[in-house]
Structures are given as structure tokens and as C-alpha cells.
Chain A
Amino acid sequence: MTVLLKVEDLHIFYDSIEALKGISLEVNEGEIVTVLGANGAGKSTLLRAISGLLPIHSGTIQLRGEGLNNVQAYEIVIKGISHAPEGRKVFSTLTVEENLNLGAYIRRKDIKAVSEAKERVFSLFPILKSRRSQLSGTLSGGEQQMLTMGRGLMSTPRILLLDEPSLGLAPLLVKQIFQIIREINDQGISILLVEQNARKALSIADRGYVLETGNITISGLASDLKSNQKVQEAYLGGAALKKRK
């Protein structure tokens, strides 16, 4: 198995607050890897650091052995990493199609490749096709999530970083989104999935890491994590309790 993305001893600070305290993780080619953790654990910080949006205090991030520490955020996507950020972050006053076109901004001159990528996205998310000329701010939450993921696929990345795609969505939609994540993975795109919905995330992931206040405390195969007592108590039981409420 070849290592695609490798994070080693990563420390990230917000001013004097240390949000990531030396974490290491790997995503192999073709894998779905999930990072579980409560609110404020540092999950988004991890993804934002990989994407070059946050300065790295120490540690390394590598894609296929190439160091990314000094690569600017706008160049990261050229390397093959695409990031669908938390909270959708669609460009609300732009149309659905304009959002998708920006997803392929790095290849905007190759009109054929852009329209092919768009067709692939439309076949994953047919609803986006019928909404293509609608302003994305007027989409429902689920549709915006689909747009964020579709936009992320437009650059045909090697790896897609997904930050809480199920956040605030109805159970049926969550199910659909996770199904699509699997389909994306079947197309050969590796996935680094950040989630609070541990049950769902572990059901599609190959491996997982548990992040607690800036440290990785547990890691292993998804099937092992599912039966891990600490994970069950803290994340699976908790999720079930929340659901019942």
C-alpha cells in the first residue's frame, strides 16, 4: 500500500493557543480515513493546515513524499488535494454552475476537461444539474453540501478532504451523502473524512483516528474502533444518546 498523505508531528497554534499538539496520521492510496472528535478537538484545524490555510508551527505534511509545508494554499489544489470545508462555504451569490467552474479553476482554460468533470459531478449529484443556474445561497442545506463536495471534485483530486459533511442534515440526507462518499472513493479518490457522526463515518471508513483536544488518542481499523470500548462510550454511545433526545 502506498502512502498518499502523511502528516507527522504536526503542531498548529492560534496565537498562543496550541490547537494541534503534535499529531501524526496517514492516508493510503484508495483509502477512506476518518478523524473523529468532539467539537473543538482540532479536526477543522487539521484539514485547514493540510490545505495551507494555517501556518505550520512544526512538523511536516507530505503528499506522495513531496513536502507541502511551504506550498501556498492556492497551490495545494494543484498538487491534488481538494478540501470541502465545514459549513458548506458555497459562494452564495454565485450560481451553482459558477461554483463548480471555480472548483476547476486551476484547469479553467481546458474547457473540455471542465465540462467532463462537470458531467461526472452531475451524475453523482443530479440535483445540481437541475439547479445549475440558481444562486447557490438559495439552495437547501443538503444541496449546498452536495455542491461543496461536487465543487471539490471538479479539480479531479487524488484526495478529498471532507469536513463534517453530515453537519445539520436530516438522517435520510446523511445516509445519501455517505453513500456518495463511498461512490467517490470507488472512483479511486482517497478520502480524509472529519466527522462527529462516528457511527456513520466508521461504517464507510477503512481506518480511523480519534482526536481529543489536539492529540490523537486512539487509532486503528474502522472495525476495531467500532468495538473499542472507549470509542463506544465517548462517540457511539454519545451519538445514540443525542439521537434519542
Chain B
Amino acid sequence: MRIFLEQMINGLTIGSFYALIALGYSMVYGVMKLINFAHGDLFALGSYLGFSLLVWGSAYVTSHVGLAGGMIAAMLIAAIGIGMAGIIVERIAYRPIYPAGRLPAVVSALGVSIFLQNAIMVAWGPRYQAYPVNVVPTVRFEIGGIHITLLQIIILILSFILLALLYYIIQKTTFGAAIRASALDRDTAALMGININTVIFFIFALGPALGGTAGVMVGMYYRQISFTMGWNYGLKAFTATILGGIGNIPGAMVGGLLLGIFEMLGSAYISTAYKDVFVFLILILVLIFRPRGLLGEKVAEKV
């Protein structure tokens, strides 16, 4: 039981990474019907951005705003920087080729992904980089025999706040309704006075911003980052998106958290070596038995 609960906590922690990244895939797919393959690499770029800020800026930041301030600054700057990167990617790599159809855009997304991955390698080197150890003090709490670290608590709370905020924006505000409407029917959305370019700007800023923040969290959690991390996390988060129902915002959140839990339980009770196999088995099963995902609407019901 103890192992089970601890693995649940671990699962929720990495699940919240997946959820934060998955939102970017889901929002972009919802409105653009485009799988933004560059999204995982934007996440990785965020992780590296946070790394540089914490390493090079640590002396300055720590003396001025303390450790917690340094962490928050790193996440904030990564969020803003990656949000801007997302907009630039859309402008340069996607917008010019929308008229050519969906497939060219997907190919372009793959191109951006490869470009970003190599850019990171050139800028930061091909070797693993290690996040500084002391960003969050290594404090471990024991509650009823279950261990949880301070870092985990911070990650869980922060992720929860971000997920709740995004849920609120998308599901409860009129602008959020405008985003969902644009995803359903762009022409009719325009008749309402919704400027699709505003919507596109927003989703390409916000999705990557959340991904960049997750990048910093992953760096702090695992300490080690590599320029290929975008593929691995991107694929898992994409799986989470499919699991929850692509295009569906609550679905991406639920899918991410569930996937994290599956992965951790799988590695505890079945085999660590097979945990990725386990994840992709889920992807395959979902695609076969419930292709619209857990919360996804039935697609193509209307003519």
C-alpha cells in the first residue's frame, strides 16, 4: 500500500508534466487541426532556458531574490521566452503554408522539431546538462509512512494552479468560448466577430508557455536534461492528448495525469525497463478501442 501511494504521488508529479505539455498539443490541434510536432522541442528549449538562468544567473538571483525567487524567475522567463518562440514558429513555419493544406504543415512541424533539437545541441552541447542541486532544498516529508519531497509538493501545487487557470480561461470565459467555437467552425466564429488571428496568437503563445514552464520543472525534478528530451516527453504528452481526447482541454489534463500514474504503477509493479512500452501500449489500445479518447467528442458526426 505504501509503495502504491508513493507511486501515485510520483505518477501525479510526472503526470502533471505530461498534462502541461499535452495542453499545447491539444489547443493547437483543436483550432488548427495540426499536430505541432515542434511542441516537444519547445518544451526542451524551455528546460534549457531555465537551466541557463539558474546556472548563470544563480549568484545574482540568489543574492537578490533568494532561492524561491530564482526558481520563479526561471519559470517565468522560460514561460515568456517559449511563448514568444511558439508565436515565431507559427509565423515562420506554419502560417505561410496553411493554404497548401494540412499535410505540408505537419511536415513543416517535423522540420521545426529537428531544427530546434539541433539548435539546442549546438547552443548547449550534445552532453547531458545538470540542473543546479540547490534550487529547491532537498527536504523530504513523511506523512503516514509515505515520503514526499518539498520539490514534489511545489510542482504539484504549481501545476495544479496552472491547470486550473487554463481550465478557467478555456471553459469559463467568453474568450475561451471563442477559442472552442473557432475550433468547431471557423466561419461561423468569424460571423460572431471573433478574429481567428487573435485566437491563433493566443494558443501558440499559451501552449508553449505552459510547455516551457514544464521544462523547468522537469529539469529541477530529474536534474539531468538532454537535447533529445523533447522527443521523449513530446511523445508521452502526445499520447496523453490522445488518451484524453485530442482537442479537448480537460481531456488533455486528465490524460496527462492518468498517463503519469500508469507509467509509475507500471514501473513499480511490472518492470521499470518496460515502463515506456506500457505507455505506448496504452496509446495503441486507446487508438483501437476508443479513438476519440476518454473525454473526446464523437468526431465527424455532422456532415
Contacts and interface: CB of A to CB of B under 8 A. Distances in A.
Interface stretch (B88-96, B161-169, B183-191, B227-235): B183-191
Contact of B194 (A74, A83, A85, A92): A74
A52 B188 CA distance: 11
B180 interface: yes
Contacts of B189: 91, 102
A102 B185 contact: no
B174 A108 contact: yes
Interface residues of B, number: 20
27 contacts: A48-B187, A51-B190, A51-B191, A72-B190, A73-B190, A73-B191, A74-B194, A74-B196, A77-B192, A85-B187, A89-B188, A91-B180, A91-B181, A91-B185, A91-B188, A91-B189, A92-B184, A93-B180, A93-B297, A101-B177, A102-B178, A102-B192, A105-B178, A105-B193, A105-B194, A106-B192, A108-B175
B114 to A, nearest CB: 35
Contacts of B175: 108
Contacts of B187: 48, 53, 73, 85
B271 interface: no
Interface of B: 174-175, 177-178, 180-181, 184-185, 187-196, 297, 302
Contacts of A75: 193
A2 B302 CA distance: 42
Given A91-B188, A101-B174, 15 more contacts: A48-B187, A51-B191, A72-B195, A73-B187, A74-B193, A77-B192, A78-B193, A89-B188, A91-B184, A91-B185, A91-B189, A92-B302, A94-B177, A98-B174, A102-B174
Interface in A142-200: 151, 155
A103 B177 contact: no
Given A74-B193, A74-B195, A85-B191, A102 B177 contact: yes
Interface of A: 48, 51-53, 72-78, 82-83, 85, 89, 91-94, 98, 101-103, 105-106, 108, 151, 155
Nearest to A108: B174
A51 B297 CA distance: 30
Nearest to A51: B191
B181 to A, nearest CB: 5
Given A93-B297, A94-B181, A98-B177, A106 B193 contact: yes
Nearest to A93: B297
A92 B185 CA distance: 10
A-B interface, 9 closest residue pairs, ranked by CB to CB distance from nearest: A73-B190, A106-B193, A77-B193, A98-B177, A108-B174, A89-B188, A102-B192, A91-B181, A74-B195
B26 to A, nearest CB: 14
Contacts of B193: 74-75, 77-78, 105-106, 155
Contact of B190 (A53, A98, A108, A151): A53
B29 to A, nearest CB: 15
A39 to B, nearest CB: 16
Contacts of B194: 74, 102, 105
